[in-house]
Structure 1
């Protein structure tokens, strides 16, 4: 291959290669069940739910009746393909903190699932983000309570399994409760994984699969991160009355789960494309977790080592990784302006700070759903002159790390990576190019 002439363009090309591998229009049709004797009901939640609904409608037999409802994030419903009849309703709600529309969606979906028979089929379209988008609090917990608890979990540094364990035990629809309502109908879950290990019970807090976690686990997590719940809810957790349906529950015996897209598949698609272009590629892992800035620091060490090891070889080297890191929001002085940004940007700040302007190393970290946290960027680029250009723009990466302000830092450099919603979600994409 010829030398890389524009590293940023190459990294962006590999990102879109990974995203295309996870688009519902490319993958969902191969996993459809046969039409049942009775009704077919499609329910769903997640950032990819709108695109999944369209893919289902396009692939489902035109003469087979179907109805249903899915909920996705505001602005994440793709344009309806020309000529595609609308048989599944799509509504939008807030993410990552639920709102009234999230509650309304959950109430409506819960109601549609009631009264089914064993001849009926429920197809559930599940993707990341469904936990916030599908919110139906247990009795005694208000939407305001759920919003506060969710916000505190997001800022605590809790990992996705911990957050979703709490969410399941405070919900009447997550943690297998939706499938229990659908019984005795058969439930087929088509899922896009956004979690390390592709554990379907963690994706969107597993509304259609049994839950092995317990009320005691939820209490331990609440205590670990000092998150308060109403006293009546704490008592219900202690008594075990908010327990979720377990794997031995007979209501799950006829059900099935199909993973239609995973982080590993998307990273491998990017790796194959890089190798096709003649770039030596090393896959680190699709399950990397931890504090974003620290993961960035470790990746910097790996990149430096790989660069030293690559001396004397011809051509560039690419390191790929995925997973789901976390950001612990740093306490700020009273009245201070809070930083903006998500885990991809925080990773990039940690990486740039640790690289200290190392020559010949470029990187892109971005969320595959197109949104890093709650901002309008998917992530950010790191270049060999990131810190130098930061100094010229009067911004210091260490200052921005202190206030979790990756958006402000990379915006000042013109290095935000903005894609808009991608209509899928297989978690973090990280690519480091060493030339």
Structure 2
């Protein structure tokens, strides 16, 4: 098997699975219980927060454990909007956000909020000047992803953060689900108030995640209940999930420098090979792009056909975001970049991990060429 769909989800690391199992077996008490066994679970949960904060270079009480990227993004976006509605009702995002952000903004529009959806250039990057120009006296939130999940574009988060700092009443949220371990981001120094992380994108488990909430930031909770997680996220904490997430985060950060260099080399090698194919158009920009994503289009060829043909060879790639891959044919990301339907409806996404090998990339390329050749032969 050659697995090249790591932007959708990654293979859980064996040591992460082991940590989850160990905690589930030996620390299964409810951390809110007042007996000593519950106290042990609570201490383990707190230690996980301290370790996560140390890895991310922030404070332990700024860590909120969640069930993943979608929950984290919804809590950040809706939580800020609903909590601070008395300050204003204008919010800003881009046209290329993940569905969990984009749809959250659509939901807020139904509640009376005004949303500005900023355009991007041909590389999928938003202009910092456009962000600045969109801010009004009524603006309370800016939400911009760090790394685009379809084409890998890297947004100027630090520069946007500098803009946001000039407006004390607004908050800045960053969806960093695709960025962790691929493009370093200094949370404490980038003007970020909220940042979303998902465990299953970094060899952790599905159903685990983190939301960084800068001290002094208040949210309207999505879940009301027992007041866990500073009352931002009530519900019995998933201690085993939290421990396993921190384990995955630690392993990722330990391997990050070498891993980024390795994936950058793979991306460059694959790009050079793809440039030799007249049928293939490369959508991932050469500059301002994360190292783990390569998005291509083959106009005139349905991507689902290629995915099935490659799947028969044990090679797994995807179209767009896994959260929207079964919906309409067109990639709204490529459409926002200004590409026509021939390109935006024929895209494939190839995504690497630290463990992807050069041989796997070479095999993928050869099988891609053969699959396109077979398809063209049938159509002639």
Q: What TM-score do you get using the length of structure 1 for normalisation? A: 0.28
Q: What TM-score do you get using the length of structure 2 for normalisation? A: 0.30
Higher RCO (C-alpha 8 Å, min separation 6)? 2
